[in-house]
Structure 1
Amino acid sequence: MQTDSRPPVKIGPLRKLNRAIGKVVNAIEVVILVFCVAALGMLLITNVIARTFFQSIYFAEELSMFLVMLTTFTGVSYGVRKARHIRMGAFLDAMPPKMEKVFIIIISLVSAVVMAIMAWASWEYLLNAMTKGHMTPALRMPKWTFYVIIPIGFGLACIQYIRTILKNLIEKEPWQSPDQQSEYEDEQIGGTQI
């Protein structure tokens, strides 16, 4: 068996910080996504049973709307970071690596600008909702509390696209996202590859 004679690559403090932040953000996003999907499933099943035998849960629609919004806008950032967003993978795979890298940078730049515009517009919408003081009918919560996740989700997605651009400017090989080099990388779940 042949051993690698190259010296180990030293990781600088900025990369260590970036990796640590990435792990924390990833863990938070995964927990939020798992919780929301599980809670939504349990809420809907419970509401169906309650509606069949007793009376519908009066706040189920509002709570499910909030859980769907939380899942959607948390998932936007997660999808970008894990290269699970919609893209033209077949075209990129057919290109030479340098051209692929250029296209990834252009696509990420346009996407980052769109996400930044959406974050700004949703921030303005959130501020407008806060001044109106409207309450949800069932839970009697301020409606703006449901909208807080929207600018956060778009803003985090914008940051992930910017990270993708920087990763492609720094590294030699093209990267689909800041955490994923190839669309076909094996994912690991609980120590086993799928």
Structure 2
Amino acid sequence: MRKFLSHIEESFIALLLATMVLVTFSQVVARYVFNSGAIWALELTTYLFAWLVLFGISYGIKKHIHIGVDAFAKLFSSPVQRFFGILSVLASMTYAGLMLYGSWVYFAIKFKRGTETDDLPIPEWVFLSVLLISMAMIITRLIPVLWDLLSGKEGVSILGDESKDAIDHFKDDFTQDKDTSINDHSGKGER
């Protein structure tokens, strides 16, 4: 079930991105080839981008790919680093909770009014529902991270370590280049 939900989430994010690209591309062709265009395209692309970003935040938490500034925290021992990790997760959950509450109030107002978007004949609350969904998803994704930090299951670093990844990538490339260079030189001597 978890794999299925993950697949749906990834497919939905890909669909959002593909739809944005197609709408934008069609408008470029319409404008420069046919000297026309759709008024609603920019608004739709803006809403799709908002959905992509907000769902992407939750997905980034799930995959541990958010970049964190942890240079200060790494100056301390593991228990203190864990404390900073717990503190940052709690702060993130608090922020997402406040956003969820504010989104609910805003969504309720838009739902009661039933106003449509500026250029699309769709109620505004349909597009704004992403605020509720994404903030709930963010909190849902942060709960297991907090639990893992509290229980000691998770390592101290819960964020993507871009510098470590870059160094590892460089080492891999260097090793491949060195192996290729050795093979090239050994082949020349045999001729």
| TM-score of the superposed pair, with normalisation by structure 2 | 0.76
Structure label with greater radius of gyration: 2
- 1:37 corresponds in structure 2 to 17
Q: 1:160 pairs with 122, 141, 157, which one? A: 141
Within-5 A mapping of 1:179-190: 183=161
Q: Does 1:96 align with 2:74?
A: no
- For residues 118-139 of structure 1, give each alpha carbon's deviation from its aligned partner in whole angstroms, at most 9, with x where no partner exists: 0111111011101111112432
Identity %: 25
Within-5 A mapping of 1:142-181: 142-177=123-158
Counterpart amino acid of residue 41 in structure 2: A
Q: Runs of 4+ in structure 1 displaced over 4 angstroms?
A: none
Q: C-alpha separation between the residues in 2 aligned to 1:42 and 1:62? A: 14
Displacement of 1:47: 0.2
Q: C-alpha separation between the residues in 2 aligned to 1:25 and 1:90? A: 35
Within-5 A mapping of 1:111-130: 111-130=92-111
The number of residues matched between the two structures is 165
Q: Does 1:52 align with 2:32?
A: yes
Displacement of 1:79: 1.6
Question: Structure 1 residues 175, 163: closer, same or farther in 2, change over 3 A?
Answer: farther
Q: Does 1:73 align with 2:38?
A: no
- 2:42 corresponds in structure 1 to 61
Displacement of 1:172: 4.6
Question: Structure 1 residues 172, 150: closer, same or farther in 2, change over 3 A?
Answer: closer
Runs of 5+ consecutive residues of structure 1 not aligned to the other structure: 1-19, 187-194
Secondary structure of the residue aligned to 1:148 is helix
Name the structure with the higher helix share: 2
Q: C-alpha separation between the residues in 2 aligned to 1:173 and 1:85? A: 16
Question: Structure 1 residues 69, 132: closer, same or farther in 2, change over 3 A?
Answer: same
Secondary structure of the residue aligned to 1:57 is coil
Q: C-alpha separation between the residues in 2 aligned to 1:97 and 1:25? A: 34
Secondary structure of the residue aligned to 2:110 is helix
Runs of 5+ consecutive residues of structure 2 not aligned to the other structure: 166-191
- 2:174 corresponds in structure 1 to none
